[in-house]
Amino acid sequence: MRTAFYISDGTAITSEVFGHATLSMFPVEFNHQTIPFVETTKKANEIRKLIDTVAETSGEKPLVFFTFVNPELSDIILSSQGVCYDFLSYASEIVKRELKVKPVPKMHRTHSIHESTYDFRIDAVNYALANDDGANIKDYDEADIILVGVSRSGKTPTSLYLALQYGIKAANYPMTEDDLESGRLPKCLDNHKRKLFGLTIDPERLAAIRQERMANSKYASLRQCRIEVREVEMLFKKNKTPYLNSTRYSVEEISAKIIADTGLKRHKY
Amino acid sequence: MRTAFYISDGTAITSEVFGHATLSMFPVEFNHQTIPFVETTKKANEIRKLIDTVAETSGEKPLVFFTFVNPELSDIILSSQGVCYDFLSYASEIVKRELKVKPVPKMHRTHSIHESTYDFRIDAVNYALANDDGANIKDYDEADIILVGVSRSGKTPTSLYLALQYGIKAANYPMTEDDLESGRLPKCLDNHKRKLFGLTIDPERLAAIRQERMANSKYASLRQCRIEVREVEMLFKKNKTPYLNSTRYSVEEISAKIIADTGLKRHKY
């Protein structure tokens, strides 16, 4: 199997995201290797040797996606037997030409604590945890968004993703059978209608998820799931609550759709 | 302020990560605009017009980082007045030349639910939540890693990040004063020594974080924080528990360091 290396002087997250997006276009399996925090010539030389060893023992040149602030480290990796791609260099040339400003590379630029938005994200994680699953309805004034839906419709992972990635304070409130039977929004949400965003889900998928949690319960029965989903969607429509069906979407996709639909302000780019 | 667009037929996360990494090298402020799920020629034409309007009203060409599976959509964006960079195309040429395999672009390749690893991640998030803060010590057999440290040393955001991004099941256990006074690991961790990873933190930073949570308490006092940090570090050393000081690192950096140090298996690339 061909080896792909993702290498950087920082977390190597950018190298991974870029390399993975490139390789995912090819119908080929890869052995992925991430090597973060390559900050010295000694470490870079070790990695160069590792790349060469893989090339020699496998008979196939590894694909190497890398980025370094220090050009000395780049040169060491470029001298390996891998097919090396310094993927930011070409883009930065284009930007430089257009802006007529020279790049000023600095360490740990994109995924470090030095970003001014870092505290927002940790605050938002704490907020999401404290306001998970209807735990803390008194803090809804502070919410950027309140996700609503039946139990296990994807609210919690979405609220955590919005917090961790974007610093968005997302509370979530589970619609209980009592809420659904009454046919109206619970009182605690009345003053926050404009912050609500609904998640719904196909009853079959919901039953499968609930089954893993509480096998053979009424809660997990397809009949119960159908009733709850129908009622919650009626409630969303009645209250003009925007909503989406999470069944076929990842937490990244759900989050991106919510941000695009609501115009929520993000604290991180 | 110069506008930067991140555009894709999917979440546009890859466009954002790549564009942000490129632009962060320049000492310039940007107005960032992400436009995900551009899946039709109608939508692409709207975006082209938006780019042109920004170019005309600001007098500055927007920087446009984009990727599409459908080349018809790419052509529409390329016909705009922006400085457009189809950032995956050059890399995929290099890979194609080396592999001698043609790329088979498909929609929603990198951040969608269709990845086989998706359920791992949601399971891991549920695991992290159920095993947060020492809540559920009976499930430690299932843990990939158990983060240990004093209260507010960064365990919870790190365990959630490991789960959401990598599908790693991370429990976390807060070392209480009783644990620290006894000078030994709590019994519930005895059988899991090889899964432990310690987080420590500078006492000054810890006191500041705790102060926000419980102002003027003993818990938040610098003296108390110094004692706890000294004792927990002694315990880590005595038990040969690997650990790192989280003070100057983001949750991405802490996670990357933990994975690099422990060789933990990730379920997502």
- Chain A positions touching B110 (Cβ under 8 A) are 17, 20-21, 24
B118/A91 touch (CB, cutoff 8 Å), yes or no = no
- Parent domain of A42: 2-99
- Chain B positions touching A94 (Cβ under 8 A) are 83, 85
Q: What is the pLDDT of residue B266?
A: 82
User: Residue A165 pLDDT more than 80?
Assistant: yes
Q: What is the dihedral of CA A165, B163, A109, B16, to 10 degrees?
A: -50
Residue B263 corresponds to which amino acid? G
B17: closest chain A residue by CA = A14
Q: Label residues A132-154 b or e (16+ Cβ within 10 Å = b).
A: bebeeeeebeebbbbbbbbbbbb
Q: Is residue B205 part of a domain?
A: yes
d(CA A207, CA A185): 24
Domain termination site, one of A99, A134, A149: A99
Which residues fall within 8 angstroms of residue A28, CB to CB, at 6 or more apart?
A2, B99, B101
Q: What is the pLDDT of residue B55?
A: 97
The model's confidence at residue A23, banded by pLDDT at 50, 70 and 90, is very high
Alpha-carbon distances of B25 from A108, A117, A152, A206, B21, rounded to whole Å: 11, 17, 42, 45, 7
Check whether residue B168 and residue B92 sit in a common domain.
no
Q: What is the DSSP string of B68-79?
A: -SSHHHHHHHHT
Check whether residue A255 and residue A151 sit in a common domain.
yes
| Percentage helix, strand, coil for chain B under 3-state DSSP, each rounded to 5 | 50, 15, 35
The model's confidence at residue A186, banded by pLDDT at 50, 70 and 90, is very high
Please indicate if the annotation marks A193 as binding a ligand. Answer: no
B110/A21 touch (CB, cutoff 8 Å), yes or no = yes
Q: Is residue A137 part of a domain?
A: yes
- Long-range contact list for B86-94, CB < 8 A, 24+ apart? B87/A18, B87/A87, B87/A91, B87/B15, B87/B18, B87/B19, B88/A18, B88/A21, B88/A22, B88/A25, B88/B14, B90/A90, B91/A18, B91/A22, B91/A65, B91/A85, B91/A87, B92/A22, B92/A25, B92/A26, B94/A83, B94/A85
B2/A99 touch (CB, cutoff 8 Å), yes or no = yes
Eight-state DSSP code of residue B250: -
Which residues fall within 8 angstroms of residue A161, CB to CB, at 6 or more apart?
A251, A252, A254, A255, B164
A260/B88 touch (CB, cutoff 8 Å), yes or no = no
Mean pLDDT of A245-266: 93
- Chain B positions touching A12 (Cβ under 8 A) are 256
From B53's Cα to the closest Cα of chain A, the distance in A is 18
User: Residue B109 pLDDT more than 80?
Assistant: no
Q: What is the pLDDT of residue A60?
A: 96
At B42-99, the pLDDT tens digits run 999 999 999 999 999 999 999 999 999 999 999 999 999 999 999 999 899 999 999 9
A156/B248 touch (CB, cutoff 8 Å), yes or no = no
Mean pLDDT of A64-81: 96
Q: What is the pLDDT of residue B114?
A: 61
Of all residues in chain B, the percent with pLDDT exceeding 70 is 96
The model's confidence at residue A269, banded by pLDDT at 50, 70 and 90, is low
CATH number of the domain enclosing A121: 3.40.50
Domain count for chain A: 2
Check whether residue A130 and residue A37 sit in a common domain.
no
Check whether residue A129 and residue A191 sit in a common domain.
yes
With vertex at residue B107, the alpha carbon angle to CA B104 and CA B109, rounded to the nearest 5 degrees, is: 80
Of all residues in chain A, the percent with pLDDT exceeding 70 is 96
Alpha-carbon distances of B157 from A160, A208, B153, B163, B221, rounded to whole Å: 10, 29, 10, 10, 23
From B141's Cα to the closest Cα of chain A, the distance in A is 19
Check whether residue B82 and residue B174 sit in a common domain.
no
Domain termination site, one of A99, A123, A157: A99
Q: Is residue A29 part of a domain?
A: yes
Instruction: Check CB contact of B63 with chain A, cutoff 8 Å.
Output: yes
Check whether residue B125 and residue B254 sit in a common domain.
yes
Q: Is residue A252 part of a domain?
A: yes
At B206-241, the pLDDT tens digits run 999 999 889 999 999 999 999 999 999 999 999 999
At B164-179, the pLDDT tens digits run 999 999 999 999 988 9
Phi-psi region of A37 (alpha: psi -120 to 50; beta: other; left: phi over 0): left
Domain termination site, one of B41, B71, B99: B99
d(CA B223, CA B211): 13
Q: Is residue A214 part of a domain?
A: yes
Check whether residue B144 and residue B244 sit in a common domain.
yes
List A residues 131-170 in contact with B (Cβ-Cβ < 8 A). 132, 156-157, 160-161, 164
Q: Is residue B226 part of a domain?
A: yes
User: Which residue do the tokens 């096998």 mark?
Assistant: A215
